[in-house]
Structure 1
Amino acid sequence: MNLSSAATRAVIVFCSLLALSATAVYGQLSSASVTGLVRDSGGGVLPKAKVVLKNVDTTVERTAETNASGSYSFLNIPPGRYTLETSITGFRTATVAEFTLAVNQASTIDIALEVGTLAQTVAIEAQAMAIESQTSELGTVVAEKQVVDLPLNGRNFTQLLALTPGVAPVSVSQNAGGGFGVPVTQGSNFVFPAINGQTNRSNFFMTDGLNNQGATISTYAVPPIIDAIQEFKVNSHNDEAEFGSALGGIINVVTKSGTNSLHGTLWEYVRNDAFDARNTFQKAVTPFKQNQFGASVGGPVLIPKLYNGRNKTFFYGAFQQFLYTRAANGFFQVPTEANYAGDLSDIPTQIYNPFTTREDPAHPGSFIRDPFPNNRIPASLINPQMLAFARATLPKAGPKLNGDNNAIDPTPLRQNQTEWTARVDQTIGQKDFAWFRYSTLQNDTTSSGGRPSISSTKSNPATNYGGSYVHTFSPTLILQGQYGRTTLQDNSNSKFIGLPAGFGPSLGFASTFAGDFADGSSLIPQVNVASFFGGGESGGLNPRVSDIHQFRGNVTKIWGRHTLRFGGEYSSTGFEAFLKSVNVNFAGQQTGNPSNSKEPGSALASFLLNVPDNAGRRNVHETTRPGGVMSW
């Protein structure tokens, strides 16, 4: 057999099967479509009938003409409210009353014209589709009213995912509440559910049909602002190539665009200790402040005496900020002044001198040590670097607060999250339509690093932007191109504050241990003393948690009553992380009795003598080179 001729026949058969299919395959990711037949009252098809689809809010019109089969198509239509008007000489004009197109909806509206004149008009009531007849997908649209009216803790729309069938807000192994790099507001969690039994990491999150994934675990990089959401759809079953990257659900949010009228909103949600009652057992109300406020506005682009964008150029923008402060008292134990002087008589177990460790002559293979009389360590044995470290980084001991804890860390938890989004839609004549959206988020959190002298910070800058362009070559040939870009960082640092310059090197740690990290920095080690105190400097810089470029294009061709759609997509992603830490850990066994486990020693004594139990260093520079995936 001639292989080339066999391959040619296979391609011809495949294309023939596509052409014979009477099901329209649209799969538009952030838009909708309207198709139908125009007939006379006797059921005969009417070619060359004029069909006008009009957006109620923007008054933008799209015009199509029925083909020889009497069919018409409007593809890549932005979701919204529309009317439909059909006319042809010799028949009355038919007008379909206002109806709504949802994201990813393929609507079928057939029109029957009555004999008469064009001046005569017949009003037709739009009928809601009970079932999606154009595609095999299963999905649920959550409309703007539900998004705006239902109470959402932290204004987090993912809590509404539970309204759709097949969604279970439970963990089936991974990521039910978000995770790595997700900019979550305090007191609120994102809901990343299991859909149709798949794992939480099997979902795919999109905004306006563009990839908006955070890291690699099915979360949002830039969560959309509630007032900027027009609607969203949860597709729980997909057989179309456009959705070929997820086993679970596809969550596709459509943002609002402006209209011919200027509209805006303002909001603020407040929680404050001024509204709280004092706990009976406390002297004062626990400090707490939470403010979430913002604004949105949209309308036509109007520049006096320069440009009138009504009916063609529209804008929409939204801003939101979240401010949070909460008291977060932490208790821990620190050495007393007597302890610093070597007096550990307050420790109930005997401590031993590790420098006297030797083999027990009476029991070969066992070891013995000399005890410190009255649990007092001679000043000559106390390590000056460890003593200086403790005095510089620890608060002074106070009275015992609970148990053996004698110090408190009053460092509050603070969060400042700012988010912006802006969108422009442009209609160019009858054949071209484009939009562009830019969304950005900056999340900053500060908290205690374990004691008052350590500040822990977390920063999550993120962006998601892109656009779409649609060109209609003819009523039967349409081209669409899209580009999207997503970036997300997850940067965490713990640093000592208020220490004199050069303090780190004065502790005597080798530069190869406390320095020479991949990013060129040095750290003051984490010093952890069991049952007493811990913490120190560390860093987790992830400048490329999510770094995605996405290109997509498709061509739609209508032949008679059949629709063919061809397209391709290229998506690339990369990852980079700097992870660094160095720690010295002290335990009691170094100053315990090696031949009697009932005398375990003291971690504080081991610290003062500078005899650590173990130490560790982490220096990771992980890079995933940009990789690409092509699909069609």
Structure 2
Amino acid sequence: MAIRDQFILQPSDSFNMNGRQEADQGLELYDSPQYGSVTGTVRDTNGGPLENAVVKLFTANNIPFEHTVTNAQGVYLIDQIPSGNYNITSSKQGYLIPNNIPVGVIPNQESTVNITMQTDTNVEKLTIYGIISDITGKPIEGATVELFEQTGSDRVSLGTVSTNSQGQYLFTDLDGATFIIVAGKFGYLPVENWVGTLTPPGFFGTNLTIAPDPEFNSGTVSGIVKSHSTGQPIANAIVALYAITGQTEKIINMTRTNALGVYLFGEVPTGNYRVKATVQTNS
């Protein structure tokens, strides 16, 4: 018969005795928590024990409670579990995670749950992952990353993903091939990286840096040229864009208005400018 505590061992405060003194040391004992345990064996589909499999116990609401690791015989034990209902599962690299198995824990009893794990057929595949950053090293969220397989002069797209808030991307379940990654985002110049020829299985990290597109960081200047006396738009007016540096003005672009008197300059970088317009005729 197993010996179990009905109450928690409760100590008194320390005290001194002097001769025939009568010491009064009453004790209040607290009920021992009603614990149970869960044990079992983790095996593969052939019945072989799986060593170093992680066995995790969750509450009935799937909140993590405790975990342990199987021994060489695939056996696990989780004890000191308060009575109640739980879920249990296991994990091991190269195997699929089984569905949660319900288990009831009864005070002062041992519940047995054996777990069978199936081989993950994708474990022999490749994974390519990495981070997309700007030139300062800051991760870029929402960048587009496309993976290509290169065969001779032919290039075939294997898929496109977007980076998360940490700039991370991930491609999984890949067969061996020669890979190329292209990354970009609106406002940045696309970049291409030759990953190389990879052979499964394995995890291969490839980080890329993309630089701002200078054209994206430029602006436009537009307007309508009108006659002061009539208020009507002037077609075919000459419009010049001047860059101002100190007291110097320099023409950097020139255009003419359309039939509605509209002009437009594109790709204007940061700076100080002035626009001048006129109409000239040959006589």
- Provide TM-score, normalisation by structure 1: 0.14
- Name the larger-Rg structure: 2
Q: Which has the higher helix share?
A: 1
